[in-house]
């Protein structure tokens, strides 16, 4: 049992992305995507995030 416990404790926790990082990545996708569907999906994601991250999306 101790071996399993050591294994689970050795796995690093996933990194949490901040809202600002996600907004920046989506803006890059809107600017650089060649496919219309990718741009549209990025704009929709930004629209969905706008309520929670008003400051980041407005910049």
Which residue is listed with tokens 């949490």?
A: 16
Exposure b/e, 15-36, CB count within 10 A at least 16 = b: eeeeeeeebeebbebeeeeeee
Domain spans, the chain: 14-58
**Contact between 37 and 29 (Cβ < 8 Å):** no
pLDDT of 37 higher than 90: yes
The predicted structure's pLDDT at residue 31:
92
The predicted structure's pLDDT at residue 10:
67
Q: Kindly indicate the confidence band of residue 53, based on its pLDDT and cuts at 50, 70 and 90.
A: confident
More confident residue, 52 or 35: 35
**Which tokens is 16 given?**
């949490």
Averaged pLDDT for residues 39-49: 89
């Amino acid at each position: 049992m101790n071996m399993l416990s050591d294994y689970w404790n050795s796995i690093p926790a996933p990194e949490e992305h901040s809202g600002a990082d996600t907004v920046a990545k989506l803006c890059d996708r809107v600017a650089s995507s060649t496919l219309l569907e990718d741009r549209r999906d990025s704009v929709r994601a930004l629209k969905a995030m706008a309520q929670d991250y008003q400051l980041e999306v407005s910049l």
